[in-house]
Structure 1
């Protein structure tokens, strides 16, 4: 279950760190379809730091709402580090947040866009810049989605630490 164990603990740490730092967060989720935002929102006090989020399962939403270039989606598909970066930056911009976090990948049961099941990209956009991180997770569809959520929360915590306190 996504709300138990390490994910809930990490989400609590993320929310506390963001609040203490005076920083806000936005999510853009494809593979996780809102699990990251839900994990944050399950934490008391999240309304002080969670600006909002976009579930962008379809490429038309990635392009139309988050501003992912259609040329990029056509060239590489939706499972790509550059797409994850554009999604995170789009969430940050659309929700007027300090940090944007995104997830895109393949939970299965079949490969997608030439990428194998378990391939996940997490994008992070902050005042320090935009970057992405590639993962390869094992397990069934739900397990891969949960691992991606936990990885996104860990990357978000690292980004909050990098940004530090707002002046």
Structure 2
């Protein structure tokens, strides 16, 4: 009986570490395989993600995957047509992820293409290097009693050559 509880506890502990946030290099890997939906699915499931939803808006099809342990982190792929990958993305409430990608932009040869504040107050920064365009968005989602929840969007796409 004790063995059974130890196995359950071990599963819970290791399971919580299994669902993770993707690194910049994993996003590049995901972008490079994104034209094959089955590969995307296998890649993300092997990293602890679960398929969440598909959406079609303005001629762009989006597939999102969530981690089973938190509802404030998702990743996915945007397509035009059936399987032509436009971009990969992340949505998070974590300021640390915003800082992480800003650091990647600085350390990976990206230059700021544009920086603007939208009408809704969202800060949109677009970076570009030789191979990729990276877009970061910080959006204030709702105001609580004494705080504001920010949502951070990261999008990576290939430079069209």
Whether the TM-score (by the shorter chain) exceeds 0.5 is no
The structure with more helix, counted as a fraction of residues = 1
The structure with more strand, counted as a fraction of residues = 2
Larger gyration radius, structure 1 or structure 2: 2
Q: TM-score scaled to structure 1, two decimals?
A: 0.29
Q: TM-score scaled to structure 2, two decimals?
A: 0.30
Higher RCO, 1 or 2 (CA under 8 Å, sep at least 6)? Answer: 1
